[in-house]
């Protein structure tokens, strides 16, 4: 347990924007980033479209623009608008796409 906390702290301090800004919050809320990605893929399809859609949602969250569906909001609250600087948010989204994308991972 102590080891995991240590690794998390190292990631938070030394990792990229995605590691620092997305993972801690999602872990705390218990929302799988993979699940979020696959849900977003179902709606946005392409890379640029998805990044633009997620960016808009993160800046202006609403139930209507969320990729999680009505069921999710029975147990979770709507997140607060993100105030992360533009460059950091773009970096985080780029990393998110690279980490979970489907292209190049099918065989």
Partner 1 sequence: MLRSERKSLRRFLVLYMLLMLGLFALGSLLYYRSQEQVMLLQTKSRLMDYAAEQIRRLKRLHEHFPQQNRYPRDPRFRSAIYDLEYVKIFSTLRDGRVDFLGDIYSVGDVIHYVKILDNYYLGAKYLFVEVPRDRSWQQAVLGRIALAGTVLGILLALLGYSLARLFVRPMRQSIRLLDDFIHDTTHELNTPLSSILANIEMIDPAAMKEGDRRRLERIGVAARTVSTLYEDLKFLTLERHRPVRDERFSLDRLLKERLDYFEVMLRSKQLELRTDIAPVTIRADRRLLARLIDNLLSNAIKYNRRGGRIEVSLRPGSLRIADTGVGIDEEALEQIFERYRRFDSSEGGFGLGLDIVKRIADRYGFVIDIRSRKGEGTEITLSWKAEEE
Q: Do 90 and 27 form a contact (C-beta atoms < 8 A)? A: no
Cα–Cα distances (Å) from 107 to 24, 98, 103, 104, in that order, read 32, 17, 10, 8
Q: Do 103 and 26 form a contact (C-beta atoms < 8 A)? A: no
Quick note: the x/- pattern for partner 1 over 15-44, rule CB under 8 A, is -------------------x---x--xxxx
Q: Is 4 in the site for partner 1 (CB under 8 A)?
A: no
Q: How far is the CB of 16 from partner 1 (least distance, A)?
A: 21
Q: Is 13 in the site for partner 1 (CB under 8 A)?
A: no
Contact pick of 47, 88, 91, 95 for partner 1 (by CB under 8 A) = 47
> By the criterion CB under 8 A, which residues form the site for partner 1?
34, 38, 41-50, 102-103, 105-107
């Amino acid at each position: 347990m102590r080891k995991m906390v240590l690794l998390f702290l190292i990631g938070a301090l030394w990792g990229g924007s995605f590691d620092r800004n997305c993972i801690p919050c999602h872990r705390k809320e218990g929302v799988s980033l993979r699940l979020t990605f696959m849900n977003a893929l179902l709606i946005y399809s392409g890379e640029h479209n998805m990044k633009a859609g997620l960016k808009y949602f993160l800046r202006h969250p609403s139930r209507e623009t969320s990729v999680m569906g009505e069921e999710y909001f029975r147990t979770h609250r709507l997140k607060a608008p993100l105030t992360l600087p533009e460059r950091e948010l773009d970096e985080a989204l780029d990393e998110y796409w690279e980490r979970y994308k489907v292209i190049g991972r099918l065989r």
